Structure 1
Amino acid sequence: MEQEFYRGLSQRVRGMAEKADPFTRRRLLDLAKRYDLKGGAAGRGATERPLPVPRTTPPASSFSESGEA
């Protein structure tokens, strides 16, 4: 029953994504993928998003200089 609920939400969100601007479309499709996973569609081609690349900090030398900003 819960699987059907999430599958229905996924279909509705995908329908809205068809009519949305590119930014909103991408976010709606990501949401639909999450609903697919909750609905048990992991075996039907749903993929997980990769982890973001970790941020790098600037070299310490840029912080050690005193004086002007």
Structure 2
Amino acid sequence: MEQEFYQGLAQRVRGMAEKADPFTRRRLLDLAKRYDSKGGAAGQGATERPLPVPRTTPPASIFSGPGEA
């Protein structure tokens, strides 16, 4: 499903590139390539980075240093 999403974005961006000036066209086509690689990687079993573990206590930097009242 994610693969189809990125492929759809790539197709839309290419459609916009057809009507754009040369500088913008180049940037849009580069963006479409990135969407293609994301869509292709998702279909090839690429693993996503896991979310970080939520903190249970505030970072120690909050407790160090002079106190404020």
State TM-score, norm by structure 1.
0.58
Aligned equivalent of 1:61: none
* Counterpart code for 1:24: T
Q: Percent identity?
A: 93
- Name 1:33's counterpart in structure 2: 33
Paired amino acid for 1:28: L
Q: CA RMSD for the aligned pairs?
A: 1.1
Residue 9 of structure 2 corresponds to which residue in structure 1? 9
Question: How many Å apart are 1:7 and its aligned residue?
Answer: 0.0
One-letter code aligned to 2:3: Q
Displacement after TM superposition at 1:33 (Å) = 0.1
Gaps of 5+ in 2: 42-69
* Aligned residue in 2 for 1:56: none
| Equivalent residues, number | 41
Deviations 1:31-65 (A, max 9, x none): 00000000007xxxxxxxxxxxxxxxxxxxxxxxx
Higher RCO (Cα < 8 Å, 6 or more apart): 2
